């Protein structure tokens, strides 16, 4: 079985691909930022170029 090193952010509306070693971990899921991990408080997106996510 291959060792996965990258995956899509666990936030449904986010398009970011993240390195699992650098991810923000919450509830055993990997996120690209604190905003994604915390459900986008105040509607803030992740802030990464090319991604306009918000929950």
Kindly state whether residue 11 falls inside one of the protein's structural domains: yes
Kindly state whether residue 36 falls inside one of the protein's structural domains: yes
Domain with 30, as residue range(s), is: 6-43
The model's pTM is: 0.88
- CA separation, residue 36 to residues 1, 2, 3, 7, 22 (Å): 29, 27, 24, 14, 14
Q: 10 Å Cβ neighbour count for 12?
A: 9
Q: How many domains does the chain have?
A: 1
Kindly state whether residue 53 falls inside one of the protein's structural domains: no
pLDDT digits (tens, 9 = 90+) for 24-48: 999 999 999 999 999 998 889 999 9
Q: Does residue 12 surpass a pLDDT of 80?
A: yes
Kindly state whether residue 1 falls inside one of the protein's structural domains: no
Q: Does residue 2 surpass a pLDDT of 80?
A: no
């Amino acid at each position: 079985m291959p060792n996965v090193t990258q995956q899509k952010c666990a936030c449904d509306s986010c398009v970011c691909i993240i390195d699992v070693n650098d991810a923000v971990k919450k509830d055993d899921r990997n996120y690209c930022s604190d905003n994604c991990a915390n459900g986008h408080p105040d509607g803030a997106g992740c802030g990464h170029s090319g991604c306009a996510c918000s929950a």
